[in-house]
Amino acid sequence: MRVGIQESIPPDLLKDFPAEAEIVRLPLVPSAPIAIDFWVMPVSRRAAEAQFAQLRGVKAAQSLMAGVDWILPWLPKDITLCDGRGVHDIPTAELALALMLASLKWIPQYRDAQMRQQWTGQFAIGGSFHANNAEQPAAYLVLGDELHGKTVLIVGYGSIGAAIEARLAPFGVTVMRIARNPRENPVVHTMADLPQLLPQADIVVIQLPLTTESRGSIGNDFFAQMKPGALFINMARGPIVLTGALVDALQSGHIHAALDVTDPEPLPAGHPLWSAPNCLIVPHVGGSTAAFLGRGLALAARQVQHLLRNEPLENIVSNGY
């Protein structure tokens, strides 16, 4: 079996591939056709499409990314496509937790104050930042909140959603879950229950795949149903959210937000989302950690083992066989 892997991958990350597999090193843009059976794809659409144009005989393609919306439009249907479910669970869940804590503890505002060399903490009365909870006294210029006791709604409860919940366990939160199909243990609701659950949530985490149904599904109505002062976190795909509606909800002061993804992306200079109040933005780095590549290639190695043993592949999105 000929396994196509990017030529830039360090050899030590290929140790799990079986000896029966012939590793074929692929340049990003091959100068001539290359025959392979199993393709470990580059992580960007432009690179993947350019490389695929010179590949021949591909029977199965392994993406290292959880989302495959960028692959489905151009990969031939007779090729089995597998996604990277599980590869990004740890880093994405950790970033979701980091964004929650950074937002609740007002870390961006404190960082801005540090850059101005201003001590804007205890007993500095009369500032522009204050607690979301009006019942708390405004004894701080920048007053943080607590994750403890919050209700967190995870919209799109898959493996990453479960990983987020596991990391929330020590914080004493209540977790509500929504997925395409209902489940019992733990209780997972469907999107039909969203109008009832959304007003109860202090923090809403979006982890939906980008599909025809989800594209643009989060807009004015969604934000209007959120609890005043609630935190909106998007760890999924930018186009799921109508950006204009998000900007309006932020500018009105109705919600706070922390975003790993945006629409458009990259977010251009001067876009109103950059300057929207109470919005923390990181540039789509949820899965970008040093351990990502090793974890992804371990999955690819298991897939090759499955094929050699005539076993079913994992994470099949579309089956070309």
- Residues taking part in catalysis: 284
Tokens standing for residue 310: 């005539």
Phi-psi region of 69 (alpha: psi -120 to 50; beta: other; left: phi over 0): alpha
Which helix (H) or strand (E) segment is 95 a member of?
Answer: helix 89-104
Q: Which residues pair with 177 in a beta bridge?
A: 154
DSSP string covering 247-306 = HHHHHTTSEEEEES--SSSSPPTT-HHHH-TTEEE--S-TT-STTHHHHHHHHHHHHHHH
Among 241, 70, 237, 269, residue whose Cα is nearest residue 160:
237
For the chain, what is the radius of gyration of the CA atoms? Answer: 22
Query: In the numeric block, which tokens belong to residue 224?
Result: 């209007």
In the chain the first and final C-alpha atoms are separated, in Å, by 16
